[in-house]
Amino acid sequence: ILKGKTAVITGSNSGIGLGVAIELARAGADIVLNSFTDRPEDHALAARIGAEHGITARYIAADMADGAACRALVERAGGCDILVNNAGIQHVAPIDEFPVAQWDRIIAINLSSAFHTTAAALPGMRARGWGRIVNIASAHGLTASPYKSAYIAAKHGVVGLSKTTALETAGQGITCNAICPGYVLTPLVEAQIPDQMKVHNMDRDTVIREVMLTRQPSRQFATVEQIGGTTVYLCSPAADQVTGTTISVDGGWTAL
Nearer to ligand NAD, 173 or 187 (CB): 187
Contact flag: residue 177 with ligand NAD (CB under 6 A): no
Closest to 24 (Cα-Cα) out of 232, 163, 192: 232
Instruction: Tell which one of 6, 7, 9, 13 touches ligand NAD (CB under 6 A).
Output: 13
Residues 190-209 that bind ligand NAD (CB under 6 A): none
Question: What separation in angstroms does the CA of 142 have from each of 108, 126, 139, 222?
Answer: 19, 29, 5, 17
Least Å distance, CB 78 to ligand NAD, is 19
Instruction: Tell which one of 149, 186, 243, 246 touches ligand NAD (CB under 6 A).
Output: 186
Cα 120 to Cα 82: distance, rounded to the nearest angstrom: 12
User: If residue 247 lies in a helix (H) or strand (E), which one and from where to where?
Assistant: strand 246-249
Per-position b or e across 91-115, b if 16+ CB within 10 A of its CB: bbbeeeebeeebbeebbbbbbbbbb
Least Å distance, CB 221 to ligand NAD, is 7
Cα 177 to Cα 168: distance, rounded to the nearest angstrom: 13
Nearer to ligand NAD, 63 or 81 (CB): 63
Contact flag: residue 16 with ligand NAD (CB under 6 A): yes
Closest to 249 (Cα-Cα) out of 208, 214, 216: 216
Least Å distance, CB 236 to ligand NAD, is 21
Nearer to ligand NAD, 55 or 84 (CB): 84
Nearer to ligand NAD, 122 or 212 (CB): 212
- Which range, of 46-54, 160-168, 183-191, 195-203, touches ligand NAD by CB under 6 A? 183-191
Contact flag: residue 162 with ligand NAD (CB under 6 A): no
The reply to whether 151 belongs to the active site is yes
Nearer to ligand NAD, 50 or 181 (CB): 181
Per-position b or e across 34-46, b if 16+ CB within 10 A of its CB: bbbeeeeebbebb
Per-position b or e across 223-240, b if 16+ CB within 10 A of its CB: bbebbbbbbbbbbeeebe
Cα 133 to Cα 122: distance, rounded to the nearest angstrom: 9
Contact flag: residue 42 with ligand NAD (CB under 6 A): no
Instruction: Tell which one of 29, 65, 235, 239 touches ligand NAD (CB under 6 A).
Output: 65
User: If residue 131 lies in a helix (H) or strand (E), which one and from where to where?
Assistant: strand 131-136
Contact flag: residue 187 with ligand NAD (CB under 6 A): yes
Specify the DSSP class assigned to residue 208.
Answer: I
Cα 208 to Cα 93: distance, rounded to the nearest angstrom: 19
Nearer to ligand NAD, 12 or 246 (CB): 12
Residues with catalytic annotation?
151
Contacts to ligand NAD by CB under 6 A = 10-17, 34-36, 63-65, 86-89, 109-110, 136, 138, 181, 183-184, 186-189
